[in-house]
Structure 1
Amino acid sequence: MPSVSFNRFIYFVTVVDMGSFTAAADRLGVAKAVVSHQLSKLEEELGTALLIRTTRRLRATEAGRRFYERCIIVLREAENAIDEVSSETGTPAGTLMLTAPLDYGAKIVAPAVAIYLERYPQMKVDLKFTDVKFDLVDNELDLSIRVGWLEDSSAQARRIGTFEQHLVCSPAYAARMRSANHPEVLEDAKWIANGALKEPLRWLFSSADKTVTITGKPVVTANGTEASYVCVLAGIGLAVMPDYQVADDIAGGRLVQILPDWSLPSGGIHAVYPPAKFRPARVRAFVDILEAMERERRS
């Protein structure tokens, strides 16, 4: 059985992930020659070629691909072992693999990451802002922040906050709607539909003991909350937006809340975890920061 340096697993996985020696060297903070030497030694120790190198690209051989998949498991287990030990002291270690929706990520998660890295300078964060809901296990994610209503009731999730929904438009468009005092008068208005929602134009309004459901008529269908936000700022029409996205704009007069005496259904902000026997310290520390920010935002 060949004797292989554990550190070379890290070099190899990073090279495959980054697609080049240069990018891997930058990621690891070492010289390109060091990465090349470590990979050559690894192939020598294993007695097989792991990478195919050309002037334009680098890719794993068939043996290299199989070895890569095994290395990922070994490195993840090693990281979990470190986390399990560090959890006893509460000290985060390693890299936090995180995903969040684009709109909430830009407004809330990015500032939370800044606090996290300042508090734990030895940590790194691999961050994806997207409205795509990744499988946490397949994508080796530590944590997914999901906003709205969880579809999978079996998910291991923790509710860390809530958000309200506001019907908003630009001041110029609001000037045309001064007589709007009931949801039903809005059905013929110009609506911006958020295509990421199941029912982007059907809304339930509540006021005191009354509830009204209306269906708007879209002039624009956007592909997500961020795109809807840009459209409503441009004065295209009405849109229902989460409070974390538009609170500053309403306060600054860039947007106007329509029918403020009527409320729309509120939603949840959840930390969703992969199946695990324990929560790594790096995950718990970040969720604690995010939950504290949500408490402050709602106070």
Structure 2
Amino acid sequence: MAIPGHINLNDLLVFSAVADMGGFTAAAERLNVAPAKVSLEIARLEAQLGVALFSRTTRKVALTEAGESLHQQSKPLLEQLQAAVDGLHVSPDQLTGTLRVTAPVDHAVQMLAPALARFAVLHPKLQIDLRTSDRISDLVAEGIDVAIRMGWLRDSSQRAVKLGEFQQYLVASPDYLRRAGTPQSPLDLASHDWVALTLLRTPLTWTFSSNEGEERTVHLKARMKADSASSLRALVLHGAGLTVLDQFSSAPELAAGRLVRLLPDWQAATGGLYAVFPPGRHVAPKARAFVRFYQEFLAQQQSA
């Protein structure tokens, strides 16, 4: 390897983006620059270092051995440098750039969107990109600053802040109950039509706990399935059967009488609400500031 002269720091930042995103076009989109500029800066860096950092084919871009070594050693240093710059020049009252947030569709509509709207008013120089999906996003590949996730974190190594907890309610529509009757115990659920959420690990197995500490595990049969919480709720509202919904998405329907909460003396497991940050990179001040704001927002909503 040739001894480098003055390496352009921006070239290293571009290199890190290509390595993280797995391609020049994706890195260009993340950096908001033209793909040609990314190619030019990578070529300049490779010429200065005297080695190829990426192997290129028509289908993909992959790190070479030298590129992998540079990425592993430079990425933590770049993150520390970025954190130091952020700490010096960005105050919570002067947030800039773009805050990219992802969340499940229902939660975004009911809770997150109002919070983001208020947060935007407080920080007029900040742009906000809200991305909704009931499937888990790749935070690094999509350039997400913070993900709001509900339920149980599958990876204990994730950097996350617990925002709160939520109850899960067993529900059905009045129309379904008129046709099929009202279950009186968890064991009755096996004889009812169940609407399953396929995003769950075990959508047909539920454990309910009574106020007296008893537990009942029920194995269900689903005539209908849905791959999103909003579709699941719509099916149940139209009389497709019974299901479990989180308290946020079910509250408006319960209050309006469009859904009925069943077996209130038996509780499904309590879920957690989390803010998850991307792995392997520093947490941007704008992301930290929003998470603190959202914690306060949720607390106010619960006390109202």
TM-score clears 0.5: yes
Show the 5 A alignment for 1:1-299. 1-16=4-19, 17=21, 19-21=23-25, 23-52=26-55, 56-57=58-59, 59-62=61-64, 63-85=66-88, 92=95, 104=107, 107-109=110-112, 112-113=115-116, 115-116=118-119, 119-120=122-123, 121-122=125-126, 129=133, 145-148=148-151, 158-177=161-180, 180=183, 183=186, 185-194=188-197, 196-197=200-201, 200-204=204-208, 206=210, 213=216, 215=218, 217-220=220-223, 222=225, 226=229, 228-229=232-233, 231-252=235-256, 255-259=258-262, 261-262=264-265, 264-265=267-268, 266-271=270-275, 281-298=285-302, 299=304
Aligned length: 293
Q: Structure 2: which 5+ residue stretches go unaligned?
A: none
**Greater alpha carbon shift after TM alignment, 83-92 vs 171-180:** 83-92
Change (3 A) 1:71 1:126: farther
Matched to 1:169, the amino acid is A
Asked if 2 retains the 8 angstrom alpha-carbon contact of 1:194 and 1:221, the reply is: no
Identity of aligned residues (%): 29
Asked if 2 retains the 8 angstrom alpha-carbon contact of 1:87 and 1:280, the reply is: no
User: For residues 247-286 of structure 1, what are the alpha-carbon distances to aligned partners after superposition, in whole Å with 9 as ceiling and x for unaligned?
Assistant: 2333455x4123375352443323467899x976334312
Structure 2: distance between partners of 1:34 and 1:231:
49
Asked if 1 retains the 8 angstrom alpha-carbon contact of 2:254 and 2:261, the reply is: no
Structure 2: distance between partners of 1:188 and 1:123:
51
Q: Report the aligned-residue RMSD.
A: 4.5
Shift of 1:9: 1.6
Shift of 1:233: 4.1
Shift of 1:242: 0.3
Structure 1: distance between partners of 2:195 and 2:8:
57
Change (3 A) 1:15 1:126: farther
TM-score, normalization: structure 1?
Answer: 0.70
**Greater alpha carbon shift after TM alignment, 168-177 vs 89-98:** 89-98
**Greater alpha carbon shift after TM alignment, 233-242 vs 42-51:** 42-51
Structure 1: distance between partners of 2:75 and 2:213:
56
Shift of 1:6: 0.5
Shift of 1:4: 0.7
Shift of 1:24: 4.0
Q: Structure 1: which 5+ residue stretches go unaligned?
A: none
Residue 221 of structure 2 aligns to a residue in which SS? strand
Shift of 1:35: 3.2
